[in-house]
Amino acid sequence: MSKTASNDSAHKLDLSLGSISVDRDGGASIITVSSPGRLNAWTRGMRADLLAALRDAAQDSAVRAVVITGAGEAFCSGQDLNEIATWTASTPWIGEIEELYRFILEFPKPTIAAVNGVAAGSGMQLALLCDYRVAAKRAKLGQTEVKWGLASITGTWLLAQVVGPQRARALALTGQLLEASQALTEGLVDEVVADDKVLAAALGLAGQMASYEPEAFRISKRWMSDRFMPQFWEVFREARAAHREAFERGSAHRGVAGFLGRHA
């Protein structure tokens, strides 16, 4: 059985194709990001649905682990730029992302990202927030936001936790997408498998991690997230200011308009 929660759109552009679906495989909840024709770019509504699915999984004692993946041949290409075109400096999207990211970091059960294809911008960040990342050989990962006129703050910080500040600086300011093999070498993913094996590999690991004593896992993960949180709050405070500036100066809309114009 699968239940799908589609986001509502009040915009003139059709953003309603995006959805978050939830399936079960034994004790694992499989959460799939889907946005046909957009490399699973997500909207504010989709992120709200993902948060709701994670809250359900946290409360469900039958769910012992969560696997997050994408539909088709992409994981998540980040924020849907069609939606950004409708935003202003006061759109509260950074606060919404902060709430989602915090919940993933503090989620008391194992989270595994099955990175089945491109993971860019906030899509890559979604993968980095998980406890373990299994990538398909075709996967590409990168912090691409400067290409679209967006300030690169939270993604750069998350990258720096993995690759160090200087390498994160280079990756964020070039917007480079790394092939799966290079992402493995640099620690952005933990395992690379054949394209058609990524979900099976993630579910296998989910089963293994779900077999551990849950309280020991929860306590260990809570300690890790507690060490992380003071800087997390500071980074998001700075991200709010940076993105407000990008919208007020027009760089966000210029960057998005340029991309959409080239891909019209």
Q: What pLDDT is attached to residue 12?
A: 43
Single-letter code of the amino acid located at 239: A
Minimum mean pLDDT range among 35-44, 125-134, 158-167, 253-262: 253-262
Per-residue pLDDT tens over the stretch 21-44: 999 999 999 999 999 999 999 999
Please report the pLDDT score of residue 7 as a whole number.
37
Residue whose token pair is 């992402």: 183
Write out the chain in H/E/C secondary structure: CCEEEECCCCCCCCCCCCEEEEEEECCEEEEEEECCCCCCCECHHHHHHHHHHHHHHHHCCCCCEEEEEECCCEEECCECHHHHCCCCCCCCHHHHHHHHHHHHHHCCCCEEEEECCEEECHHHHHHHHCCEEEEECCCEEECCHHHHCCCCCHHHHHHHHHHCHHHHHHHHHHCCCEEHHHHHHHCCCCEEECHHHHHHHHHHHHHHHHCCCHHHHHHHHHHHHHHHHHHHHHHHHHHHHHHHHHHHCCHHHHHHHHHHHHCC
pLDDT value for 149: 87
Share of the chain above pLDDT 90, in %: 80
Interval 106-133: pLDDT, tens = 999 999 999 999 999 999 999 999 999 9
Distances (CA, A) of 76 to 19, 226, 260: 12, 27, 18
What pLDDT band is residue 262 in, cutting at 50, 70 and 90?
confident
**Which residues does 212 contact at the CB level (< 8 Å), separation at least 6?**
none
Whether 2 has a pLDDT exceeding 80, the answer reads: no
Strand partners, 133: 113
Q: What is the pLDDT of residue 3?
A: 42
Which pTM was predicted? 0.91
pLDDT confidence tier of residue 148, bands split at 50, 70 and 90 = confident
Please, what are the domains in the chain? Answer: 3-262 (3.90.226.10)
- At residue 246, the pLDDT reads 86
Question: Which of 58-62, 86-90, 199-203 shows the lowest mean pLDDT across its residues?
Answer: 86-90
105, 135 Cβ separation under 8 angstroms: no
Sign of CA dihedral 31, 33, 34, 37: negative
Written as one letter, the residue type at 25 is D
